[in-house]
Amino acid sequence: MTPEPLEIRRLSYADLPQVIAIERRAFPTPWSLAMFVLELSKPSGICLAAVREGTIVGYLVCSRYERVWHVMNVAVDDRMRREGIATAMLGRLFAEADGPGAQYTLEVRASNAAAMALYEGFGFRHAGLRRGYYHDNHEDAVIMWRVVEGGDGHEWVPDDQRVARRSGA
């Protein structure tokens, strides 16, 4: 059976009850409603919803600090994974935010092979660890960067980004 078409649009405050329901099933330490409200209130961020048949099936929260995009949160309804929903959201993010020298970073649990495979598919590369970053189980965070070639060369370049450049991201 052909799946219903997927719409990717901006996330709104009205979506948050559905987002929270997905979030609580997706993460051991879910974000609070207040955290989503704060991110949605930032004018420079990009927050996206994936919608199928009028229902939220995934969301992505990305904030911009100076010249770097921080992918803060990505999750897909646990009944609809592996259907390309996260891929569609990240694709939209990069379609909107990519440009010469664009930089993206994120942290992911070292055990989260699914998410790392997703990000690697978009050119994110490992660039170090934050030891014991997650409070619930003291798990390490893997820091990942994605760098679009072609910047002006004058931007601030952190060490871990240089790793990303060397590995071809």
Ligand X SMILES: CC(C)(COP(=O)(O)OP(=O)(O)OC[C@H]1O[C@@H](n2cnc3c(N)ncnc32)[C@H](O)[C@@H]1OP(=O)(O)O)[C@@H](O)C(=O)NCCC(=O)NCCS
Q: DSSP secondary structure string, the chain?
A: -PPPPEEEEE--GGGHHHHHHHHHHH-SSPPPHHHHHHHHT-TT-EEEEEEETTEEEEEEEEEEETTEEEEEEEEE-TTSTTSSHHHHHHHHHHHHH--TT-EEEEEEETT-HHHHHHHHHTT-EEEEEETT--TTT-PPEEEEEEE-S---S-S---HHHHHHHHTT-
Closest CB to ligand X among residues 47, 115: 115
Closest CB to ligand X among residues 3, 150: 3
Figure out which of the listed residues 81, 94, 97, 148 binds ligand X, where binding follows CB under 6 A. Answer: 81
Closest CB to ligand X among residues 53, 155: 53
x/- mask, ligand X, residues 13-32, rule CB under 6 A, reads -------------x------
Told to check if 83 binds ligand X by CB under 6 A, we report: yes
Select from 5-13, 74-82, 135-143, 150-158 the region that touches ligand X (CB under 6 A).
74-82
Closest CB to ligand X among residues 34, 117: 117
x/- mask, ligand X, residues 107-136, rule CB under 6 A, reads -x---xxxx-xx--x---------------
CB of 87 to ligand X, least distance (A): 3
User: Judging by DSSP bridges, how do beta strands 103-109 and 68-76 pair with one another?
Assistant: parallel
Binding site for ligand X (CB under 6 A): 26, 74-76, 81-87, 108, 112-115, 117-118, 121
